[in-house]
């Protein structure tokens, strides 16, 4: 990012903060749209829902909404953020194993596009609430396809032992139970197998499972309106400049090729849309010489970006102030937690107190997972487009 981040402009701002490259976000959204329309020529055969859990910054959401994306929300709070960005209720899906009653009420009253329902117990509550409100709620069953062990074990979601969805072998019973409920309408099937998936052939077993579930519904003479295949497409954390836009074409094509259905397909992408455009900008507080390591102690910490601490996730780190020869550092935050480390043995241009450090590809699950631990303020966000920095 050296050269592209205008250090002087933000010299008086408190670090750490998030910095979003709005041109890259727009390019990503344009390429996403192109990949989608070139894969599925028929206009009504698709809808991408942006997963707000990846980032609910209102400025970014406004842009995402402007490109016509729907929203995948996990709480009533996220539903409100989606609405504020101008995403219509009909383009909102509501997913989550533990939906709260007040959030269900909100979603029913808005008439959101779809509840992605994860258990019969949850469906009963939605049915009760919708009955009391004299409404009918559209839902999809989230099916646990029992597959997938991707990038990091903490974030696989589609295996039997995971809490997510209804096991595929129990789908028939769930459908039978749903038929008896008058205020809910089964409209689709929903899946989500994991995240940071770079090898798109990992989606082939999912397609096979979906085909199997569709066969089952056919034998039960149940017709649905669409399939939601979830999200999970990964990005290149190691080389953010080589391939700044994710491979949306391969992603869409694998479903086009392996799903045996004419039903409209919905997608729920988060990381691949926003991760590359965000960086966490911090400053070096101290350079400390240890016995075996040099430490670059920066003012950013796991409270602004928890991914390295939580999942040992890799983010590229750059000293964007210094041009001096590279040295090896452990890049650490100031918090008294063993895991408050951004990278070990990282080669950085020689660091000095006050140098700016960019932690790249932090636009997804960065700002949205920030916390107040240690009474630290939540990070601010700035944008490459000056019209957005108010
Ligand atoms: N749909 C559902 C039902 C999800 O649970 C998720 C993410 C997505 C869509 C979007 O997945 P994506 O396209 O972003 O991979 N905090 C972790 C990631 C957790 C993902 C949770 N679910 C991280 O920082 O890597």
Residue where the block lists tokens 């452990």: 330
Residue 202 has pLDDT above 60, yes or no: yes
**Residue-wise pLDDT tens digits, 376-390:** 999 999 999 999 987
Query: Does ligand 1 have an atom closer than 6 angstroms to the CB of 315?
Result: no
pTM to 2 decimals? Answer: 0.96
User: How many residues can be counted in the chain?
Assistant: 390
Residue 364 CA to ligand 1 center (angstroms) comes to 9
8 Å CB contact between 366 and 304: yes
Residue 152 has pLDDT above 70, yes or no: no
Query: Does ligand 1 have an atom closer than 6 angstroms to the CB of 232?
Result: yes
* Closest-lying ligand 1 atom to the alpha carbon of residue 53: 7
Residue 7 has pLDDT above 70, yes or no: yes
Tokens describing residue 331: 């890049």
Q: What is the rounded distance in angstroms from the CA atom of residue 34 to the CA atom of residue 38?
A: 6
**Residue-wise pLDDT tens digits, 314-341:** 999 999 999 999 999 999 999 999 999 9
**Residue-wise pLDDT tens digits, 302-320:** 999 999 999 999 999 999 9
Atom 8 (ligand 1) nearest CA: 231
Query: Does ligand 1 have an atom closer than 6 angstroms to the CB of 51?
Result: yes
The alpha helices in the chain, defined as continuous H runs, are 22-39, 58-66, 76-84, 101-110, 120-132, 171-179, 204-219, 248-258, 271-274, 307-311
Q: Which is it for the CA torsion 360, 364, 365, 367, positive or negative? A: positive
Identify the H or E element spanning 226.
strand 226-228
Greater pLDDT, 353 or 154: 353
Dihedral in degrees, nearest 10, Cα atoms 117, 120, 124, 126: 0
Residue 121 has pLDDT above 50, yes or no: yes
Query: Does ligand 1 have an atom closer than 6 angstroms to the CB of 195?
Result: yes
Atom 3 (ligand 1) nearest CA: 192
Q: What is the rounded distance in angstroms from the CA atom of residue 379 to the CA atom of residue 301?
A: 11
Half-sphere CA count of 52, side-chain side, radius 13 A? 30
Q: What is the rounded distance in angstroms from the CA atom of residue 73 to the CA atom of residue 80?
A: 9
**In angstroms, what CA-CA distances link 342 with 303, 312, 329?**
12, 9, 10
Buried residues in 151-168 as b, exposed as e (16+ CB within 10 A) = beeebbbbbeebebbbeb
């Amino acid at each position: 990012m050296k050269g592209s981040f205008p250090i002087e402009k933000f010299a008086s701002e408190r670090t750490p903060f998030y910095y979003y490259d709005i041109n890259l976000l727009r390019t990503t959204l344009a390429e996403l749209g192109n990949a989608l329309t070139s894969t599925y020529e028929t206009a009504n055969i698709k809808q991408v829902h942006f997963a707000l859990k990846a980032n609910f910054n209102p400025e970014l959401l406004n842009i995402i909404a402007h490109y016509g994306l729907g929203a995948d929300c996990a709480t009533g709070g996220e539903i409100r953020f989606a609405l504020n960005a101008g995403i219509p209720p009909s383009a909102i899906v509501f997913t989550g194993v533990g939906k709260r009653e007040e959030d269900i009420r909100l979603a029913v009253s808005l008439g959101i596009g779809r509840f992605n329902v994860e258990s019969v117990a949850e469906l009963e509550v939605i049915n009760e609430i919708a009955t009391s409100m004299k409404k009918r709620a559209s839902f999809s069953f989230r099916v646990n396809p029992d597959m997938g062990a991707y990038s990091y074990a903490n974030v696989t979601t589609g295996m039997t032992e995971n809490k997510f969805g209804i096991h595929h072998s129990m789908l028939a019973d769930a459908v039978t139970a749903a038929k008896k409920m008058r205020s809910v309408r089964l409209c689709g099937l929903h899946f989500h197998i994991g995240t940071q998936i770079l090898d798109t052939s990992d989606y082939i077993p999912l397609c096979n499972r979906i085909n199997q579930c569709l066969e089952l519904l056919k034998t039960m003479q149940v017709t649905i309106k669409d399939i939601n295949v979830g999200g999970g497409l990964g990005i290149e954390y190691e080389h953010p400049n080589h391939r700044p836009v994710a491979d949306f074409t391969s992603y869409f094509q694998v479903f086009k090729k392996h799903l045996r259905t004419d039903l409209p397909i919905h997608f729920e992408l988060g990381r691949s849309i926003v991760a590359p455009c965000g960086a966490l900008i911090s400053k070096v507080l101290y350079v400390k010489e240890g016995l075996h390591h040099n430490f670059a102690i920066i003012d950013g910490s796991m409270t602004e970006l928890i991914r390295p601490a939580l999942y040992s996730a890799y983010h590229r780190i750059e000293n964007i102030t210094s041009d001096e020869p590279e040295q090896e550092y452990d890049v650490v935050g100031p918090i008294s937690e063993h895991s408050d480390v951004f990278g070990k043995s990282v080669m950085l241009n020689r660091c000095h107190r006050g140098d700016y450090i960019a932690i790249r590809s932090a636009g997804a699950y960065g700002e949205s997972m920030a916390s107040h631990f240690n009474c630290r303020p939540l990070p601010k966000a700035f944008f490459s487009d000056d019209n957005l920095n108010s």
